[in-house]
Amino acid sequence: MPEYVIIAVEPKFEGNIGSICRAMKNFGVTDLRLVNPCEVGVEAWRLSMHAEDVLNSRKEYATLKEAIEDCSYVAATSGSLTTKEKAFVRIPVMPWELSEKIGGGEGRVALVFGRENWGLYNEELNLCDVLVNIPTSPEYPILNLSHAVAVLLYELSRDTEKDTRPNMRLATGHERETLFRFFDELMEAERYPKHRREKTSVMFRRIIGRAVLTRWEFHTFSGVLRTAKHKLELLGGKDVPDIDPELEPVFEGGDDQGE
């Protein structure tokens, strides 16, 4: 099974932090990371019940990027969905789909939960490999923070042996970022339009995130991208035509607000 890490981004209420610890303890998860949290006081300790060890060993970070640096795979949770395929940043998978993809893997998997009142900002979502949605009633879709942690950990702890690949080694965070860097460098080498590169890079990250590639698959793809980039550099760009503007992909606009 993967080593799960729970990351709460800017939690506002210390009681929620204590309740998260209790939910983690229920499922044998001990690595809690808080990004710019509220003060942890008596209420957090009271609600942590028999999970004081989880609360005591928590780590705090200034940014989400710092909190996920050593993780092989990063899944963000969101109650905000989209039915538009061009809004790729917010296209989710369901918890059971995530369980089937990573249940047989080996590596450190981060489960990221956003602010109680605002969720995760788009720039934070862009750091994650996949978006997960817990289906709820449309009349009141937003779960309490600790409840969301408990539901997702329950789904990931279920027996999905028949749907997983045993001994699947997930790529490390460093390997994953290397692949994404090669993709970005390839876009630069082929003179892909600069104003499209950031969103295309995020789209590539999402595709790879939903695929949950193994370490061997990451190395294979990295080799292909690196070779293509090298050949384009040998050409010196002389015989590489610019992309016809009429053939450029059209991305859906949006702001940088959260959920």
Residue 6: C-alpha distances to residues 109, 173, 221 (Å):
9, 16, 29
pLDDT bracket for residue 82 (50, 70, 90): low
What whole-number distance in Å separates Cα of residue 254 and Cα of residue 259? 12
Assess contact for 16 and 146: CB atoms under 8 A: yes
DSSP assignments along 185-205, one per residue: HHHHHTT--HHHHHHHHHHHH
Assess contact for 95 and 158: CB atoms under 8 A: no
Domain coordinates in residue numbering, the chain: 3-169, 173-245
E-assigned strands of 70-155?
73-77, 92-93, 105-106, 108-113, 130-132
What whole-number distance in Å separates Cα of residue 239 and Cα of residue 236? 8
The whole-number pLDDT of residue 247 equals 40
The pLDDT tens digits of the residues spanning 157-210 come to 885 444 444 566 777 777 878 888 888 988 888 888 888 888 888 888 878 877
Ramachandran sector of residue 159 (left: φ over 0; alpha: ψ -120 to 50; beta: rest): beta
| The CATH fold of domain 3-169 | Alpha/beta knot (3.40.1280)
User: Could you tell me which residues are beta bridge partners of residue 169?
Assistant: 106
The whole-number pLDDT of residue 72 equals 87
pLDDT beyond 80 at 119: yes
Q: Give the mean model confidence (pLDDT) for residues 112-136.
A: 90
The whole-number pLDDT of residue 237 equals 52
| Residue 254 C-alpha from the chain's centroid | 20
pLDDT beyond 50 at 251: no
The pLDDT tens digits of the residues spanning 34-54 come to 999 999 999 999 999 899 999
Q: Of 63-67, 132-136, 243-247, which one has max mean pLDDT?
A: 63-67
Neighbours of 108 (CB within 10 A): 18
pLDDT bracket for residue 84 (50, 70, 90): low
**How many Å is the Cα radius of gyration of the chain?**
20
The whole-number pLDDT of residue 172 equals 76
Mean pLDDT of the chain: 82
The pLDDT tens digits of the residues spanning 16-35 come to 999 999 999 999 999 999 99
Identify how many contiguous H helices and E strands the chain contains and give both numbers: 10, 9
Ramachandran sector of residue 217 (left: φ over 0; alpha: ψ -120 to 50; beta: rest): alpha
